[in-house]
Amino acid sequence: MFSREGILSLLISVPGLLLAITFHEFAHGYAAYLMGDRTAKYDGRLSLNPLRHLDPIGALCMLFFRFGWAKPVPINPYNFKKQRLGIITVSLAGPFANFILGLLSCIIFYLVAFFTEPDSNFGIFILEVLRYSTIMNTGLMIFNLIPIPPLDGSKVLMEFLPPKAKYSVYRYERYFGIILLLVVYLGTLTPILSTLQGYVLSFYEFVSYKLVMLFM
């Protein structure tokens, strides 16, 4: 059973989750559009409506494990003006969007913390929402950079593989997806991912603190 604090923590983390997933997938679709592919647009995925991008299992993993994924945006790489560059750009666009959102959330967190009354209930609520937004965006970014299909990192890696190896990866992609679910469930990668997340969060805090000091 969840405690009252646990349920409250989950509820507060929902805005950050929706923000992270929505902008991650929107960035994929918009990058594809800029590279010449309109598949995502025709599919209605150039949208900031979170319901168009949610993957139920991936969202639950984000809520409970702080690492997860969204519903993949459909793309047709044959429409890209430069196919290899297009695939790499589109694959990295989602994690990059999360990196920017995580940093912005952290900066705003520091601004609110410095200029809000410490005993303000509203201020505390906003701080918690921003804190979880920072964590969710960082988690989604790091997890999707793992070079295991079908995550974004694997698509970048495959562009540097020999054709035969690339074909083998695509052929067995569904099995890699099952392996990925098992790895998430067993927590095999959690220590590594948590360590990487800690480094990114430390960078966010350093930048945010330096920026806030400029306003003091």
User: Which distant-in-sequence residues (6+ apart) come within 8 Å of 143 by Cβ?
Assistant: 67, 68, 69, 151, 193
In angstroms, rounded to a whole number, what is the distance separating the alpha carbons of residues 172 and 118?
53
Q: Which amino acid is located at 143 in the chain? A: F
Q: Which two tokens stand for residue 86?
A: 């297009």
Spell out the long-range contacts of 163-168 with Cβ–Cβ below 8 A and sequence spacing 24 or more.
none
Annotated catalytic residue: which of 5, 25, 128, 173?
Answer: 25
Structural contact between residues 203 and 99, judged by C-beta atoms closer than 8 angstroms: no
25 is catalytic: yes
In angstroms, rounded to a whole number, what is the distance separating the alpha carbons of residues 79 and 6?
46
Structural contact between residues 94 and 27, judged by C-beta atoms closer than 8 angstroms: yes
Nearest residue to 87 via CA among 100, 96, 75, 95:
75
- The residues that are catalytic are 25
